[in-house]
Amino acid sequence: GQQVMQIPQYQHVQEGEDFTTYCNSSTTLSNIQWYKQRPGGHPVFLIQLVKSGEVKKQKRLTFQFGEAKKNSSLHITATQTTDVGTYFCAGRMKTSYDKVIFGPGTSLSVIP
Amino acid sequence: DTGVSQDPRHKITKRGQNVTFRCDPISEHNRLYWYRQTLGQGPEFLTYFQNEAQLEKSRLLSDRFSAERPKGSFSTLEIQRTEQGDSAMYLCASRPGGTGDDQPQHFGDGTRLSIL
């Protein structure tokens, strides 16, 4: 079946260090979305990537969509304690009108 | 606040009982989604509505699960004869429709279901 995988599952970094999470889909995607979920909270939309090879930046966050539209990454520069949470990628499948499949997430801990 | 609203926030029930959850989407969002999330996992797609029409349903959803959106506004998710494995957070999300794929989903705070 269609799967979206993410690595690593957990990441502990010292405040100020960089962080990257990688997302891979078993099938080609129409687009990919990234969400952040704080402990005890609900997923909050961060960004959507649509085009092959697309790169988008939001302050210290950089998002990339692979050329084959099967993988993506999120990179955070100089992490802060406010970055703590779980980051999910979610891929919209080409074979489905509006179904989005979430990856298992990468849980980020930032040590002050 | 005009965000997605879910009720109740928590539900504790005995195995075998039926439960019903409600979701009120953001006003004028005609697309509504239900997800289930267990600890350490991402949200798992359950079903999706466009207005009152249920357009897609996960094959993982057993016949004990049913969802409705009768007037195209709020939605309910019912689980019959609950089992231990149904314990999870049930999330609802909504987004505008008819404007392409560039509108994000907005999630509610979820209903946490615990089966005793």
Over its C-alpha atoms, chain B yields an Rg (Å, rounded) of 14
Q: Are B115 and B84 in contact (CB under 8 A)?
A: yes
Strand partners, A23: A6, A72
A–B CB contacts, 8 A cutoff, strictly below: 55
First-to-last alpha carbon distance for chain B, in angstroms, is 33
CA B75 to chain centre: 8
Contact A41 B109 (CB under 8 A): yes
- Across B14-29, average pLDDT: 95
Cβ neighbours around B51 below 10 Å, total: 13
Instruction: Give the tens place of pLDDT for each residue, A4-50.
Output: 999 999 999 999 999 999 999 999 999 999 999 999 899 999 999 99
Contact A105 B101 (CB under 8 A): no
Provide the pLDDT for residue B106: 93
pLDDT at residue A63 is higher than 70: yes
Which of A45, A99, A102 minimises the CB distance to B104?
A45
Cβ neighbours around B39 below 10 Å, total: 7
Instruction: Give the tens place of pLDDT for each residue, B30-79.
Output: 999 999 999 989 999 999 999 999 988 888 778 999 999 998 899 999 99
Which of B56, B102, B106 minimises the CB distance to A98?
B56
Provide the pLDDT for residue A80: 97
Strand partners, A88: A35
Higher per-residue pLDDT: B93 or A100: B93
Which of A30, A44, A88 minimises the CB distance to B101?
A30
Q: What percent of chain A has pLDDT over 70?
A: 96
